[in-house]
A and B are shown apart, each in its own frame.
Chain A
Amino acid sequence: MIADLPPGLILILGAILVPFLPGRLRQLYLLALPVLGGLQLYGLEHGSFAQTQIFGYQLTLLRVDALSVVFGTIFLITAFLNVIYGLHQRDAVQEAAALVYSGAAIGAVFVGDLISLFVFWELTAISSVFLIWASRNERAYRAGMRYLIIQVGSGVILLAGVILHAQATGSIAFDRLGLTNLATALIFIAFGIKCAFPFLHNWMQDAYPEATVVGTVVLSAFTTKLAIYALARAFPGTEILIYIGAIMTVFPVFFAVIENDLRRVLAFSLNNQLGFMVVGIGVGTPVALNGAISHAFVHIIYKALLFMSMGAVLHRVGTVKASELGGLFRSMPLTAVFCMVGAASISAFPLFSGFVTKSLTLTGVAEAGYVITWLVLVFASAGVLEHSGIKIPYFAFFAHDSGLRCREAPANMLIAMGLAAFLCIFLGVYPEPLYAMLPYQVDYEPYTTSHVLSQLQLLFFAMLAFAVLIRTGLYPAERPSTNLNTDWIYRKALPALVRWAMTVGAAVRDGVLARGRRRLERALVQITRHHGPEGILARTVTTGNTVLWVALLLAVMLLLNFV
C-alpha cells in the first residue's frame, strides 16, 4: 500500500474512471475500491501523516487513532455493501457519486484540521445530491435543491466558525473544542445541521425518501454519522447535547407513527437513533462515549439493511407507501426475513446488534445520574419498536394482502442484505471485536440475566400492546398523506410571506407613485400659473420700466449711504 495515502482518496480518485469502464469490469472495479481502501486503512499505524503547510496553517490529511479507525472501518464496510446492493443498476452517475460521497465522508473522518474537514464536509454535500437528483423527476430535483442549500449552508457556517476560531486561537486543529465562544458555537451549529438536531432536521425526511433506491441506502450511512463523529471528536461532554439528543429520540417517534411513506418512516427512525448517540456524546463519560460510537457502528449496518429492504420493495413494486403495501412476504420472503433482522436489531432484541450497543449508552446515561434522560431514552426505545420494529415489516410484508405479486429482490440486493443481516446477528451474539475497537477500555457485559429479562419484558409487552391495538381495531389505518413538519416553514410559510410582502410592497409602491404623481401635477399647475402664457413671471417687462426700477433702487441705496 502507498504510504500516507488517505483511504478516502482511493474512493474519490477511483470514481473518476467509473464512467469509462464497461459492464463487468466496472462492477469488479467498484467492488475493489472499498476493499483497497480497507487494506490501506489496516496498513496504517496510529499517528498523523500526510501533513502540509498552507498560508502558515498545518493541514493534516491523515490522523489515525482509535476514533477515526472505528468510523473509517464502518464507512468502508458500508461502502462495500452499498456497491453490492447497487450492482444491478447501470448508472454511472449514481455509482460515481456514491463513491465520491463515501470517500469524502471517509476522508473527513481521517483529517486532523478544520480546513481539511471543511473541504470534505462540502464534498459530501455536493456529491450526495446527485443520488437524489438521479431519481430524475421534478419532485426529486426540488428536494435535492432544498437539501443542497441546507448542506452547503452547514459548510458555510462551519467555515465562518473555523475562521473565527483560527483568528482567536491561531489553531485549526480538529480536536476537542468545547462550546465556549461564538466560533465554536458556529462549528457546533454546522455539525448540528448535518446531525439533524431538532428544528434543523427536516432536510433528512424531506430529501432521503426522494433519492433513488440505492441512493437512499447510501445517503443513510454517511452524512449524519460523519456529524456524530465530528461531535464526538470536538464536543464530548457538552451538556446541552444530552437535552438535544433526548428531544431527538422522542419527537420523531410521533411523526413516524403517522407517516405513510415507509422510507420516510425510516428517516424519522434514523433521527431517533441519532438522538441516542448525541446523548451519549453529551454525557461524555468513557462508557457513554463508547456507547455512542458503538451504536453509530451497528446503527449504520441495520439502518442500511432496513433501507435496503424497503429499496428492494420499491424496486419491485414501485411504491413504499404503507397504504398500498401488505402481504409481500409471499413474493419476497427473503427480503422479509432480512427486514425483520434489521427490525430486531434496531429494536435492540437480545442477540441482535442494537442490544449490545444501546445498552452501553443507556448504562452510561444511568451511571452519570441522568434519571429523566434515561427514562426518555427507554420511552424512545418503545417508540423504535413501534415504527421500525413492527410498522416497517408488518405493513410491507404482512398486514392485509395488497394483492401485489412480484419476483424476489435481485440476487445482488439479497447478497448485500444477507451480509448486513449476518453482521447484525454476529455483532449481537459476539460483540467483543466491536468493543475491542472502541476508544476506551470496555468492561461491560450486556448479557446479564437482569438486563436480558428487562429488555425482553419491555419489548414483548410493547408487542402485546400492538397486538391488542390491532385486534381491537384501535391501530389507525395508514392513509396517503403529507405530514407537516419544519419544512413547512420554508416550503409554505416563507413563500407565502414573500408573496404577501410583494403584494404589500407593490401596494405601497403604487401609493407612493400616485401621491408623487398628484404632487407633480399640483406643482405643474403652479408652474403653469406663474410661468405659463398668462403667468406673472412670463409677462414681458418694458425696458423703460426696468430702468425706472433700477434708478429707484440706486436712489434708495444713495439715501441709505448718507443716513
Chain B
Amino acid sequence: MDNGLETEDTGGPKGEPHWLDRKRTGKRVFWGLIALCAGLGLADFLYRRHGIFDFEEFPLAYAIFGFVCFFGIVLSGYPLRKLVMRDEDYYDR
C-alpha cells in the first residue's frame, strides 16, 4: 500500500541541519524558557494575584507547584516501570 513512506531525506538543504535541529536552537529555547519563567515569577512580586483560596496568593505558589508536580510525575515513572512494565509480547505469549 502506498502510505506515503519515503526512504529519502526530504528535510532541509543537503549538508545543513534543519534550524530546529541545530544545537544552538535547543540552547536558545532552554534559556528563553528560563527567562520567561523568571519574568512570570517576578510578576508575582509586582502584582498581587487573587484566588479563591488564601494559599493561591502566596508568591510563586503555582510556579513551585507546577515544577514539583511535573518533576515528581516523571520520576514516579521509574518505580512504576519496575512494578508494571513487561515485554511487548507479554499478552501474546
Residues of A within 8 A of B (CB): 139, 253-255, 257-258, 315-318, 327, 329-331, 363, 366-367, 371, 374, 378-379, 382-383, 385-386, 398, 401, 404-408, 410, 448-450, 453-469, 471, 474-476, 479-485, 491-492
Contact = CB atoms under 8 A, between A and B. Distances in A.
A510 to B, nearest CB: 29
Given A461-B37, A461-B64, A492-B91, A254 B70 contact: no
B73 A467 contact: no
A483 B82 CA distance: 10
Contacts of B91: 482, 491-492
Contact of B66 (A253, A457, A469): A457
A374 B54 CA distance: 13
A257 B70 CA distance: 11
A255 B85 CA distance: 10
Contact of A379 (B10, B33, B36, B69): B69
Given A453-B40, A454-B49, A462-B67, A484 B7 contact: no
B10 to A, nearest CB: 6
A330 B84 contact: no
A496 to B, nearest CB: 13
A258 B30 contact: no
Contacts of B52: 363, 366-367
A349 to B, nearest CB: 13
Interface in B50-93: 50-53, 56, 60, 62-71, 73-78, 80-81, 83-92
A315 B92 CA distance: 24
Nearest to A448: B50
A483 B53 contact: no
B33 A463 contact: yes
Given A482-B87, A484-B86, A460 B80 contact: no
Contacts of A315: 3-4
A327 B77 CA distance: 24
What 5 pairs across the A-B complex have the smallest Cβ distances?
A: A407-B4, A465-B70, A382-B69, A462-B70, A458-B66
A257 B73 contact: yes
B74 A382 contact: no
Given A386-B73, A476-B81, A481 B88 contact: yes
Contact of A330 (B18, B41, B87): B18
5 contacts: A254-B76, A406-B5, A453-B47, A454-B56, A476-B78
B9 interface: yes
B15 interface: no
B6 interface: yes
B85 A458 contact: no
Given A317-B5, A474-B75, A467 B66 contact: no
Interface of B: 3-12, 18, 20-21, 29-30, 33-34, 36-37, 40-41, 43-44, 47, 49-53, 56, 60, 62-71, 73-78, 80-81, 83-92
A433 to B, nearest CB: 26
Contacts of A386: 70, 73-74
A481 B88 CA distance: 4
Contacts of A257: 73-74, 76-77, 80
A461 B56 CA distance: 16
B88 A482 contact: yes
Contacts of A366: 52-53
B30 to A, nearest CB: 5
Contact of A407 (B6, B36, B64, B90): B6
A465 B74 CA distance: 9
A460 B40 contact: yes
- In this complex, the member of B37, B43, B70 whose beta carbon has the largest number of chain A beta carbons within 10 angstroms is B70
Contacts of B90: 482, 484
Contacts of A401: 21
Contact of B60 (A385, A457, A466, A468): A457
A383 B69 contact: yes
A139 B6 CA distance: 27
- In this complex, the member of A255, A366, A482 whose beta carbon has the largest number of chain B beta carbons within 10 angstroms is A482
B6 A406 contact: yes
B84 A483 contact: yes
A464 B6 contact: no
A265 B65 CA distance: 23
- In this complex, the member of A139, A458, A467 whose beta carbon has the largest number of chain B beta carbons within 10 angstroms is A458
- In this complex, the member of B3, B8, B47, B75 whose beta carbon has the largest number of chain A beta carbons within 10 angstroms is B3
B89 to A, nearest CB: 8
A462 B33 contact: no
Contacts of B89: 482
A455 B29 CA distance: 20
A331 B10 CA distance: 7
Nearest to A466: B70
Contacts of A455: 62
B79 to A, nearest CB: 10
Contacts of A481: 81, 85-88
A449 B51 CA distance: 11
Given A254-B77, A318-B3, A407-B6, A464 B11 contact: no
A204 B77 CA distance: 21
Nearest to B9: A405
Contact of B62 (A371, A410, A458, A492): A458
A457 B44 contact: yes
A475 B74 CA distance: 7
Contacts of A474: 74-75
Given A316-B5, A457-B63, 17 more contacts: A255-B80, A258-B77, A316-B4, A327-B21, A331-B11, A366-B53, A386-B70, A386-B73, A405-B7, A449-B47, A453-B40, A457-B62, A460-B33, A460-B63, A467-B30, A469-B71, A479-B81
